[in-house]
Amino acid sequence: MASRLIRKIHIYAGLLTFTQLLIYGIAGLVATFQASQERPKIAHATRYVPFAVPASATDKEVADKVYAELKLPLTRPMPGWFLRRTSDHHLLLDFYHINGIYRVVVLENERRLRVESIRNNGWLFLGDIHASTPGDGEAPALIRWWAIWNELGMWCLLGFCVTGVWLWFASRPRFVWAWSALAVGSMMLAGMWVRFR
């Protein structure tokens, strides 16, 4: 009875983990073969929005006002340390999200904003989504839900491994190749821990 229950937990934990492992694998391949860390900055679409900069407002206050007025999906308020200026001295705001960047340039003299939509390709999207964590309290709700799913997947992976070892001990405790694989994997894990701690 116990073996049947543990086998079911093992199967379902493996199935729940499968989607995460696919995404992590693709994200790893994208990072491996990516030509550079710099993301593409080619605008997919550009629009202009009327906007008046309040008198004597700081750059951070302007950035907060832009965020409140544009309500760009899947973004968060611009942190103060990330504020920059273009070569023409216009305030530049890059609102990052999992689909790419909303690049907003505050054209103060023209009393408007230039909003460029820069899209990630599908591979970069998977690379970004796999890094979501539940600890990011400022992330939009959709991203937080995905992060919880990621967290659940990691716990399921742990359950998958533990139940797999239990099933191995219960059915083939003397299987030499399994012991060899466990020993090699443990040594590699210990070596990585010593190398990177």
Range of the domain at 94: 45-119
Domain end (from 84, 119, 154):
119
Q: How far apart are CA 51 and CA 106, in angstroms?
A: 8
Comparing 13-17, 101-105, 132-136, which segment has the lowest mean pLDDT?
132-136
Same domain, 63 and 107: yes
Least Cα distance to 113 among 75, 62, 175, 77 occurs for: 62
Average predicted confidence (pLDDT) for the chain: 80
Residue 55 lies in a domain: yes
Give residue 65's pLDDT.
92
* Residue appearing with tokens 């939509």: 117
Same domain, 54 and 16: no
120: left (phi over 0), alpha (psi -120 to 50) or beta: beta
Residues 139-197: tens digit of each pLDDT? 677 777 877 887 888 888 888 888 887 877 777 666 677 677 778 878 887 887 777 66
Same domain, 164 and 105: no
Same domain, 73 and 23: no
Same domain, 26 and 51: no
Same domain, 19 and 81: no
- Model confidence at 113: pLDDT above 80: yes
Count structural domains, the chain: 2
